[in-house]
Structure 1
Amino acid sequence: MILISKYLVPNGFVGLAIYPFIFLKKDELKKDIFLINHEQIHLKQQQETLVIFFFVFYVLEWFVKLIKYQNTALAYKNISFEKEAYLNEGNLNYLNNRKFWSFINYI
């Protein structure tokens, strides 16, 4: 389910997935099929990691990458969950063929 909330989506971002919802900053973003696919990939990742572990792993990996890269944006882009979503957001059939815990391949 897609919901619009400019307050829940952090500044600098246009979308946020929190299972089972996708939050978008603006209504017109519903038309961005690649953004929706990106967020749906995150929903699948969250489902596979029982939601809570997704956020635990996400934050831990971000801290490790922040120490490694000394740059918040670079740390974010190198989180395995984000790498998988960014690299496959353009493939609208990706979720149909995706293997269980595929994000592991992007660590």
Structure 2
Amino acid sequence: MKAPILIVKNLPAEGMAIFPFILLKKESYKKDKQILNHEKIHLRQQLELLIFPFYFLYLVNYLINILRYKKHDLAYRKICFEQEAYQHENDLNYLKNGNWFGWLAPGKSGT
């Protein structure tokens, strides 16, 4: 998946995917295959849900998690979309293997 990459120096994270773009905090991250793969997984998740429902479900999942865990970092890491992306960010073949909707069963999707 080829996505346009934008550098946003004030980005609150190393990277972010907002369809169809990948936003990166630093120019040097363009060479970081792990960050790029993580964000490409998010782009596919957005396509799986026809883009806008992804953002709604992402926010709802985060809000439920923040109520449950009371800590931003843990609530963020427990978002089902983040779990899939973190679990497979080092597998550069993950997207090629057709593992669609892996976020539905975090920890169980895989190659």
The answer for unaligned runs of 5 or more in structure 2 is none
- What is the CA distance between 1:5 and its match in structure 2? 1.2
TM-score by length of 1: 0.92
Q: Deviations over 1:31-72 (max 9, x none)?
A: 100000000000000011111111000000001111111111
Q: Look up the match of 2:46.
A: 46
Q: Look up the match of 1:90.
A: 90
Q: Deviations over 1:11-48 (max 9, x none)?
A: xx111100110010110110100000000000000011
Q: Look up the match of 1:5.
A: 8
User: Percent identity over the alignment?
Assistant: 43
The answer for unaligned runs of 5 or more in structure 1 is none
Q: Look up the match of 1:106.
A: 106
Aligned residues: 104
Q: Look up the match of 1:71.
A: 71
Counterpart of 1:81, as a letter, is F
Q: Would you tell me which structure has more helix in proportion to its own residues?
A: 1
